[in-house]
Amino acid sequence: MSAAPTATGGDGPVPPPRSSVPGGAAEAPRVDGTVTAAPVVDPPPAGPDGEVAWPAAVPVAEPAEPVVAEVQPGRVRWDPAERRARASQSFWTAVVGVPAIFSVLRLGVEAGGELQTTLLLVANVGPVNLLAGFLTTAARLLSTGLVAVFALGAVLAVSADRLPPGARRRPLFARWADITPAWVVLASFLLALITWPLLYLPLLLPAFVAAFQLRPGRLHERVVPRLLLIGALLAGYGWLMLPTLRAAVQQGGEWLVLALIVVPPLLALFIAGPLPGMVIRPLASVTEVAVLATLVWAAVPVISTPVLPLTVTTVGPESGPTEDVRGHVVTTDDVNMVILQERGGVRYVPVDQVRAQVLCPSEEELPRYQLRIHDFHVEDSLLEGMGRRVRPVHRIDAACRTPA
C-alpha cells in the first residue's frame, strides 16, 4: 500500500479512478513528509509501488451515494472462494516462511550464539542447503503436527455434525480438516509413514482411520465377512510384529514397546467417532493447546540440531605431530578450511596442513532399544531402514572416538 495518505484520509473510501494512471511520474514534492499541493495540471503522482496517491488539493469527486455501502471497510465478509484463496495463501506462506525462519534461528544456535560466527555461517551456508537440512531433520516433526491436526479434526468434525445446527462455532481443527484437500492429508500421512520411527508407526493406524473416517462398516456390509476381514488384517499385523513382541518380552518387558505395538490396531476399530456432544468442546480446547505445546516442545531439538555434518579433521605439518579438530566444516577455499569446532569457536586451518578428514555420528543417534522388526531397527524410519540396506556396513572411524 502507498504510504501517502489520500486526500480524504487513510480510512476513507478510495477515490474513483481517473482517466489514466501515468507510469513513472515524479514523486510529488514533500515537505516534512507530507504531500504538498501539486499544480492541478500535473498528472497525479504515484506512490512507491505505483499506486496513485492523490494530492490533498485535488478535488475528490464525491459520489451522490456513499461508496461505503459497496466496500464496507473494517469487517469484511468473505465469500467461500475468497476465503479458500486466503487460506491457501496463508498455507503456502507458512510452508515457505516457517522453514526459513527456523533455519535462520538454527544458524544462530549452531554458531553458539556468537554474532560474527552466525554471520560467517549465513555467508557460507546456501539457502537451498539450509532448507534441505531443515527438512531432513524437521520432516518428522512436521508430519506429526499435520497428522495430529487432521486426525483430530476429522473426528471433531464428524462429532460436531451431530450437534444441533448453529449451536456454536465448529472446533478449529474441524474447520482446518474441512478446508484441507484430501491429497494434502494423504501426503502428510505418507510423509509420516516414511519418516516416523518404526516403533511409533502403529500409532499412524488409528490416526489414518480417524482422518479418513474408515469405520469397520466400510469393509463389508455384512457382519460375518466384516469380522473375518478384520481378523485377517490383525493376523497379518501379528505376523509382522510377533518376533519383535517376543524379543521385547525377553528383554525384560519393555512395557511401552508392548503397548505401542499391541494397542493401536485395536483402537483403530473404534476411533472414527462420533464423540458424545459433551466431550467435543473440552477435547477440542485441550488438544489445540496440547498440539501447540508439543510442537513448541519438539521444535527445540530441531532448532538445536546441527546444520552442518560433524567431522574430525586431522591437522598437522608433513612430518610432525598431528591434532584432531572435531567440528563442522563451514567452507574450504584455496587457502583455508574453516571449521566450526564442536566445543565452540572457529578455526582456520591452512589447507596444506589437513592430513585426513572423517565423518562422525553424533551421540543423539545412539539407539535406545535393541529391537528389530524383520531386521529393521525399531528406531529407524522406513527411509533410514531402506538406506541401511543400500549401504549396510558402517564402521565408525577411530578418529571419531577422540575427545572433543
Partner 1 sequence: MSSGSSQSRLRSIASTLAVALTLTLAAAAGCDSRKEPELLSVQEKMRETHIYGQSKLRIGVATNEPLMGELRNGQHVGFDVEIARYIAASLGYEGEQRLEFVSVATEDRIPSLQGGTVDLVVSSFSMTEDRKKLVSFAGPYFVTTQEVMVPVRLKDKIRTIEDLRDPAYKVCTSGGSTTEAELEKHQVKTFVVKNVGDCVDGIRKGRYDAVSSDESILAGFLASFPKEFEIVDMPFGTSELLGIGVPIGDPALRDLVAYFLQKSYEQGRDGDASPWQTAYNRTLGPWLKAEKRQPQPLEVPKLVDFDDKAPAK
Selected binder of partner 1 within 294, 305, 331, 353 (CB under 8 A): 294
Pull the grid cell for residue 266: 485395536
Selected binder of partner 1 within 274, 281, 332, 353 (CB under 8 A): 274
270 lines the binding site for partner 1 (CB under 8 A): yes
Terminal CA-to-CA distance of the chain, rounded, Å? 54
379 lines the binding site for partner 1 (CB under 8 A): yes
Q: Which helix (H) or strand (E) holds 3?
A: none
CB of 27 to partner 1, least distance (A): 56
Selected binder of partner 1 within 114, 290, 309, 347 (CB under 8 A): 290
Region binding partner 1 by CB under 8 A among candidate stretches 35-43, 88-96, 122-130, 197-205: 197-205
Convert residues 213-252 into a mask of x (bound to partner 1 by CB under 8 A) and - (unbound).
Answer: ----------------------------------------
β partners of residue 377: 372
Convert residues 317-346 into a mask of x (bound to partner 1 by CB under 8 A) and - (unbound).
Answer: ----xx------------------------
Selected binder of partner 1 within 131, 347, 372, 383 (CB under 8 A): 372
Nearer to partner 1, 157 or 268 (CB): 268
Nearer to partner 1, 75 or 394 (CB): 394
384 lines the binding site for partner 1 (CB under 8 A): yes
Please give the C-alpha separations between residue 354 and each of 159, 314, 333, in angstroms, as whole numbers. 65, 6, 13
Q: For 309-321, b where at least 16 C-beta lie within 10 A, e where not — what string?
A: ebbbbbbeeeeee
User: Nearest 5°: CA angle at 311, between 308 and 313?
Assistant: 130
Q: For 208-234, b where at least 16 C-beta lie within 10 A, e where not — what string?
A: bbbbbeeebeeeeeeeeeeeeebeeee
Residue 132 corresponds to which amino acid?
A
- In whole angstroms, what is the distance from residue 118 CA to residue 103 CA? 12
Using CB under 8 A, count the residues that bind partner 1. Answer: 62
Selected binder of partner 1 within 197, 230, 382, 383 (CB under 8 A): 197
* Alpha helices, H only, 251-340: 255-267, 277-304
203 lines the binding site for partner 1 (CB under 8 A): yes
- In whole angstroms, what is the distance from residue 226 CA to residue 218 CA? 9
Q: For 325-335, b where at least 16 C-beta lie within 10 A, e where not — what string?
A: bbbbbbeeeee
Selected binder of partner 1 within 99, 265, 273, 327 (CB under 8 A): 273
Per the listing, cell 480446547 goes with 285
Selected binder of partner 1 within 71, 228, 279, 351 (CB under 8 A): 279
296 lines the binding site for partner 1 (CB under 8 A): no
Give me the residues that bind partner 1 (CB under 8 A), please. Answer: 148, 152, 155, 197, 199-200, 203, 206-207, 210, 256, 259-260, 263-264, 267-276, 279, 283, 287, 290, 294, 298, 301, 321-322, 361, 363, 365-368, 370, 372, 375-377, 379-380, 384, 388-389, 392-403
